[in-house]
Amino acid sequence: MITLKSQREIEAMAESGAIIAGMHQELRKLIKPGISTWAIEEFGRKYIEDHGGRAAQIGFEGFEYATTISVNDEVAHAFPRKGLFLNEGDIVKVDTVVDLNGAYSDSAWTYAVGEVSPEVQRLMDVTKQALYIGIDQAQVGNRLGDIGAAINAFVEDENGYGNVRDYIGHGIGPTMHEEPAVPHYGVAGHGLRLKPGMTITIEPMVNLGGWEVETDQEDGWTVRTLDGSWSAQYEHVIAITNDGPKILTSQDPEFDAKYLL
């Protein structure tokens, strides 16, 4: 079911999104070579709770953690681990969901650990740009296929990277995952038409190699690239409005000025 949000509900989601944004802003300073992914988890959970939110991933389909923390070839959904320490040149994806008095927000971000190679930096840059290319298509009257087609053309056709098909964006609020499904590939002019009041995530996952992924059998959660190539991801929650797409999880008001409520 797709729920159309009122202005009041969208503003409440933006308040929830501000908690995630603040957490990510702090992680920029925290994530350095030698830190464990468990320390990131502990910080993230405490930050969310200290700011009045609930880490909504805890308990979701049996998941036990406030964050998913995926390193290098891990695409998504990896557990925080006490014995996993980040090294110079790694990249780490941190994803979380916040529930603030029933208003949900969801955001993932990729961080360089120290200095990364030019190849990896370009992967991060292209993936982040792909997110904003998708956001620019999230206009009233456009269709979901316009978002996916624009992202896929940029990621695969222009840059030659693998655009993950198996995991996609989604509607959000008043639950974590709701309709519509928001693929990062598709055919322009096809799919559901976007209406004011829809709130969705756009969250491309981009691989240095092929787009294919697999799930670790050992834990049943961790998603890796099939070919072992590294992967990046960026995610925002977007409100569809008559004034254009509005980012509800913005970490950088100056950069995102045209997308703010």
- Is 254 within any annotated ligand binding site? no
- Is 203 within any annotated ligand binding site? yes
- Is 243 within any annotated ligand binding site? no
Residue whose token pair is 């009122």: 6
- Is 170 within any annotated ligand binding site? yes
54-74 burial, b at 16+ Cβ within 10 Å, e below that, comes to: bbbbeeeeeeebbbbbbbbbb
Task: Work out the burial of residue 167: count CB atoms within 10 Å of its CB; fewer than 13 is exposed, 13-18 middle, 19 or more buried.
Answer: middle
Q: Measured between alpha carbons, how far is 213 from 196 in angstroms, rounded to an integer? A: 34
95-118 burial, b at 16+ Cβ within 10 Å, e below that, comes to: bbbbbbeebbbbbbbbbbbeebee
| Count of alpha carbons within 13 angstroms of residue 126, beta-carbon side | 26
> Residue 85, SS3?
strand
Q: Measured between alpha carbons, how far is 106 from 20 in angstroms, rounded to an integer? A: 7
Q: Measured between alpha carbons, how far is 53 from 9 in angstroms, rounded to an integer? A: 16
- Is 177 within any annotated ligand binding site? yes
How many other β-carbons are positioned within 10 Å of the β-carbon of residue 9? 18
Helices (H), the chain: 7-30, 37-50, 118-136, 144-152
- Is 184 within any annotated ligand binding site? no
- DSSP notation for 167-212: S-EEE-SSSSSEEEEE-SS--TT-SPBP-TT-EEEE--EEESS-S-
- Is 24 within any annotated ligand binding site? no
> Residue positions in the annotated binding site?
77, 95, 106, 170, 177, 203, 235
> Residue positions in the annotated binding site for a divalent metal cation?
95, 106, 170, 203, 235
> Residue positions in the annotated binding site for substrate?
77, 177
